[in-house]
Structures are given as structure tokens and as C-alpha cells.
């Protein structure tokens, strides 16, 4: 199972596209690229950390057998990320928009994610071909596990037998396509 640092990296990695959009908006609005370059470098660093942690997790977490009672796709949730990534361009619509308010909101959201016991889809994993499913299991009675899988469509709950637990409520399918 992943440690606290890996969990933080998992959630912060969702902000990478937002940071890139903020870098672009900053460059367009203020005609200075120093802040944009810092945001791009930070995004690259977080992406690299995320890739290392995710690869490590996939190879070092133990496999367990589960009995799935329900399954549904969670890919649609990623649409909310797309809307959020347009937020840095709000200055075009709202003249009083300030980048500091964006940073404060992002920090508050990250603090909520870190302290909560929930698993959310990760946009970087979606970009590289993973899909997300909400599953319920028979043995634990928990009905809101998030399953990460390379399989595009899982309709039959009996197709999922072995998973790796990354952290609370986050599982990876061991069967590749």
C-alpha cells in the first residue's frame, strides 16, 4: 500500500494540467514568462514523481482476490477536470479575477483531498489510457472502491478477480486488456 507521500503525489498530479493552463494564461495576460516557466518546471517535476510512484506501486503492491458485487464507469467524472482547467482563463471574462484567488482555491482543495478517505480518478492516468470504475465488493461490504484499469469496457463484474490495493479505496486491475 502506498505511503502518505505517494498519496499526496497522486492527488497533486491532478493539478498538472491546471498548472500548465495557468502558465499559459499567465504568459498571455502578463507578457512575462518567468512564472510560466516555473509552473511548467514544477508540472514536469510532479509528473515525473507521479510516474515513478505509480510504476513502483504497480510492481510492489501485493495482489489480492476480490468478489465484485457491482461495477460502474467513473470516466465521466473527468469532465469536471476539463472545466476546472479552463479556470485560469477566467480573467478574460472577469476583469477583477486575480491569480492569487486561484492559488488559494487550489491549496484548499489539495488539503481536503489529502485529509479525506476517498479516491478520485487521476487525469494523467486517463491520458495514458487508463479507465476508472466504481466497484463494490462482497468481502468488505465497501461499495465505493475506485478501480484503475487498462481495460476500456468492463461490464461483467465477474471479469475482475485480482487487484492491487494502492491506498484506501483505490485499486488497480491486474488484468491488462
The residue ranges of every structural domain in the chain are: 4-173
What does the pLDDT read at residue 117? 63
What does the pLDDT read at residue 54? 93
What does the pLDDT read at residue 94? 59
Question: In a 3-state reduction of DSSP, which class is residue 70?
Answer: strand
Divide the 177 residues of the chain into consecutive groups of 10 and give the mean pLDDT of each group: 83 88 86 92 97 91 90 84 71 62 71 68 92 87 86 90 89 84
What does the pLDDT read at residue 89? 67
What does the pLDDT read at residue 92? 61
Name 165's Cβ contacts closer than 8 Å, sequence gap at least 6: 1, 61, 62, 64, 171
User: Is the torsion defined by CA of 84, 144, 154, 173 positive or negative?
Assistant: positive
What does the pLDDT read at residue 3? 84
Q: Quick one: cell of 93?
A: 471574462
Question: What are residue 120's phi and psi, to 5 degrees?
Answer: -115, 150
Would the pTM count as exceeding 0.85? no
Amino acid at each position: 500500500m502506498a505511503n502518505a507521500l505517494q498519496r499526496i503525489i497522486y492527488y497533486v498530479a491532478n493539478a498538472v494540467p491546471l498548472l500548465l493552463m495557468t502558465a499559459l494564461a499567465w504568459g498571455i495576460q502578463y507578457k512575462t514568462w518567468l512564472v510560466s516557466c516555473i509552473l511548467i518546471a514544477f508540472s514536469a517535476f510532479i509528473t515525473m514523481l507521479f510516474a515513478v510512484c505509480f510504476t513502483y506501486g504497480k510492481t510492489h503492491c501485493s495482489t489480492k482476490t476480490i468478489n465484485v458485487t457491482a461495477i460502474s464507469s467513473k470516466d465521466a467524472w473527468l469532465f469536471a477536470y476539463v472545466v476546472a482547467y479552463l479556470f485560469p482563463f477566467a480573467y478574460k471574462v472577469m476583469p477583477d479575477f486575480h491569480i492569487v484567488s486561484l492559488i488559494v482555491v487550489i491549496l484548499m482543495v489539495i488539503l481536503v483531498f489529502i485529509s479525506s478517505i476517498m479516491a478520485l480518478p487521476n487525469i494523467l492516468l486517463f491520458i495514458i489510457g487508463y479507465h476508472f470504475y466504481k466497484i463494490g465488493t462482497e468481502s468488505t461490504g465497501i461499495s465505493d472502491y475506485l478501480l484503475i484499469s487498462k481495460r476500456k469496457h468492463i461490464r461483467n463484474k465477474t471479469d475482475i478477480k485480482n487487484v492491487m490495493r494502492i491506498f484506501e479505496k483505490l485499486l488497480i486491475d491486474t488484468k491488462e486488456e
